[in-house]
Amino acid sequence: MDYLGEIIAVGIDSVIFGICLKQFFHCKNAVAAVKDAEFHEVGPQLGNLVNESVDNKVGYVAIRGIVKPLGKPLTSINNKRITGVVQKLKIKEHVVARTTAGFWSDQERTVHKVFNTVPFALEHGPYSVEILEPLSADILDMDVVSNTFEPTVPSFADHLWGFFTGVRQRGLQSTEELLREGALITGIGELSRTKSKTLTLQPPLNGTPFYLTSMSVSSLLKKLDDRKKTYRLLCFMFGAIGLLIGGILFRRYWKDRTEQRLAEELRQSLAASRKEGRQRVRDTDLREDQMCVVCRSNPREIILLPCGHVCLCEDCAENITNDCPVCRAPISQKAAAYIS
């Protein structure tokens, strides 16, 4: 394959372009949906809103309230005084690894990640809305309670091992994040009422993003809008790269084709001029036994082997490759015959 490199490049570029385009539309739809969402503090009006809606559901709404566990809260591992409702524990391993190019580069990989949750609600005075499936949120803002890095102290054996395996331990980073009890949070999602008359906020069924954020709606909008702009820029960039590689590919293909066509034309015109040259030197006043048996106009110029018949002109001999037209013997070779 002459164009394999370019085709692979176009393929990879299209995949990246596709991902960016998908993200761009995701952000664009999210911005439009959040802009349209009504904003309410948690309060008595939410109940009325649900009552007025079809089948007790409000498609997309932003509500703000204070995080309150419905039961016993989670306690931070690193600071017993801090309590919360969603906990994320993550352990990352930092290593220095030798790349295929032979350089050493810093790399990190998550070795352990765990979420703990307890049921909770957003509350304001006597009113509250229970939050369902908090881990499905597109944005879930949590506070970093602790972030520690324990460096590995390597022994001589570790150094030797690292040299041969190409991976050297640098240390372990542990982080703990918590959605804290008492935090002021804006939740954006679908509001509905359960059979037990509790108001709930959950991820919308139609795939519109669900947010649990400490930002205000306007900051969230700005963040989403920035993200949308970034993806738009990436789309333009990878689109342009794709067009460029495509253009180079097309130009190469076109050039190769033109060259092939020119070569074919040259070959044909050479053959035609050779034929014309032969015609010019030919004797036109021939006896019957001197004429080619096929066209009966040119002189006999070719000897067929092994039968030895001299019965064809050069023009006709070009088209006859199998059998001698006189004796039907198979032709193994042709040569010019000179009769003087």
Residue of 34, 298, 299, 303 that binds Zn ion (CB under 5 A): 298
Q: Is the preceding peptide bond at 306 cis, omega within 30 degrees of 0?
A: yes
226 CB-contact burial (10 Å; exposed 0-12 / middle 13-18 / buried 19+): exposed
| Distance in angstroms (rounded) separating the CA atoms of residues 214 and 98 | 40
CA 314 to chain centre: 61
**Interface with Zn ion includes 292 (CB under 5 A)?**
yes
**Interface with Zn ion includes 307 (CB under 5 A)?**
yes
17 to 56: interface string for Zn ion, x by CB under 5 A: ----------------------------------------
**Interface with Zn ion includes 295 (CB under 5 A)?**
yes
Residue of 94, 168, 193, 309 that binds Zn ion (CB under 5 A): 309
> Is 293 in contact with 323 (CB distance < 8 Å)?
no
Q: Which helix (H) or strand (E) holds 306?
A: none
Which tokens sit at 264? Answer: 């074919």
Q: Which stretch binds Zn ion (CB under 5 A): 68-76, 184-192, 282-290, 309-317?
A: 309-317
* C-beta of 179 vs 313, nearer to Zn ion: 313
- Using CB under 5 A as the binding criterion, the count of chain residues that bind Zn ion stands at 12
Tell the residue number behind the tokens 């990640």, with chain if given: 113
* C-beta of 234 vs 329, nearer to Zn ion: 329
Q: Which stretch binds Zn ion (CB under 5 A): 3-11, 215-223, 293-301, 330-338?
A: 293-301
Which tokens sit at 277? Answer: 């040259």
Q: Minimum CB separation from Zn ion for residue 283, in Å?
A: 13
> Is 77 in contact with 90 (CB distance < 8 Å)?
no
Tally the residues of the chain.
340
Looking at 44-155, list the stretches that DSSP marks H as alpha helix, in order from N- to C-terminal side: 44-52
Q: Which stretch binds Zn ion (CB under 5 A): 34-42, 210-218, 250-258, 298-306?
A: 298-306
Q: Tell me which residues touch Zn ion (CB under 5 A).
A: 292, 294-295, 298, 307, 309, 313, 316, 324, 326-327, 329
